[in-house]
């Protein structure tokens, strides 16, 4: 089943458990929603003319509070976690959705990246967390000084923060990078409940209310 939340789209294999569905696996994917049938509820706002954020309708994110976020100092924190070329690390996004209520997506035009306004890992698809007047995102990996054990080129993962809480938000992303590194195949638990029975649930994780379902993501 394709689902869209916190700026990402994933294909999820669910199994039924009494009154709810539980994910057995999920894969990052792309899909085009059926316009006019089941709206995704995704909101968007510009931070600069070349940088936009995408978040869900149930999130308390206001892009207007971030209009000056790139005008101040920034901080980049490196994780000590390395990947090789073409190695996926999208599970970091999943772990962020299980731990950070402000998880969303940042999209940056080439002009913004070339001007050094921001350096997201991927121009049009990078996980971000927003909190008030601050944000942090998974930053463009940097080449490692030393190759891997088989001579392969390695890249270090990190996070860049902007705004008053830049360091704190970047550290929280780095924490999830390191969580990913402990077991790169692991995923948080994704449970889906019918929206009309949402009040009956007693969630223990992050709650995401969509048009027809309530998702609970548990780390």
β-partners of residue 129 are 103, 136
Report which secondary-structure segment, H or E, holds 113.
helix 110-114
Residue 113's Cβ-count burial label (10 Å; 0-12, 13-18, 19+) is middle
For residue 87, the enclosing domain spans: 2-218
Question: Beta strand pairing status for 189-194 and 206-209?
Answer: unpaired
Residue-by-residue pLDDT tens, the chain, 219 positions = 778 899 998 888 889 888 888 888 888 786 655 555 445 578 999 999 999 999 999 999 999 999 999 998 899 999 999 999 999 999 999 999 999 999 999 999 999 999 999 999 999 999 999 999 999 999 999 999 988 888 899 999 999 999 999 999 999 999 999 999 999 999 999 999 888 876 666 668 899 888 888 899 998
Tokens of 117: 């306004």
d(CA 211, CA 219): 23
Q: How many domains does the chain have?
A: 1
d(CA 175, CA 169): 10
């Amino acid at each position: 089943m394709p689902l869209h939340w916190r700026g990402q789209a994933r294909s999820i294999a669910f199994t039924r458990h009494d009154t709810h569905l539980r994910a057995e696996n999920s894969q990052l994917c792309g899909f085009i929603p059926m316009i006019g049938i089941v709206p995704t509820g995704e909101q968007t706002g510009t931070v600069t003319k070349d940088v936009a954020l995408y978040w869900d309708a149930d999130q308390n994110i206001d892009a207007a509070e971030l209009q000056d976020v790139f005008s101040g100092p920034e901080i980049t924190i490196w994780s000590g976690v390395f990947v090789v070329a073409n190695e996926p690390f999208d599970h970091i996004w999943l772990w962020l959705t299980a731990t950070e209520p402000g998880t969303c997506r940042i999209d940056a035009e080439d002009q913004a990246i070339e001007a050094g306004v921001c350096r997201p890992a991927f121009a049009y698809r990078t996980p971000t967390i927003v909190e008030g007047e601050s944000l942090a995102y998974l930053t463009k990996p940097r080449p490692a000084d030393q190759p891997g054990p088989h001579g392969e080129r390695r890249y270090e993962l990190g996070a860049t923060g902007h705004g008053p809480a830049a360091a704190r938000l970047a550290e929280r992303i780095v924490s999830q990078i390191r969580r990913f590194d402990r077991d790169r195949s692991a995923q948080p638990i994704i449970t889906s409940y019918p929206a009309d029975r949402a009040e009956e649930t007693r969630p223990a994780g992050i709650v995401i209310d969509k048009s027809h379902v309530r998702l609970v993501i548990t780390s």
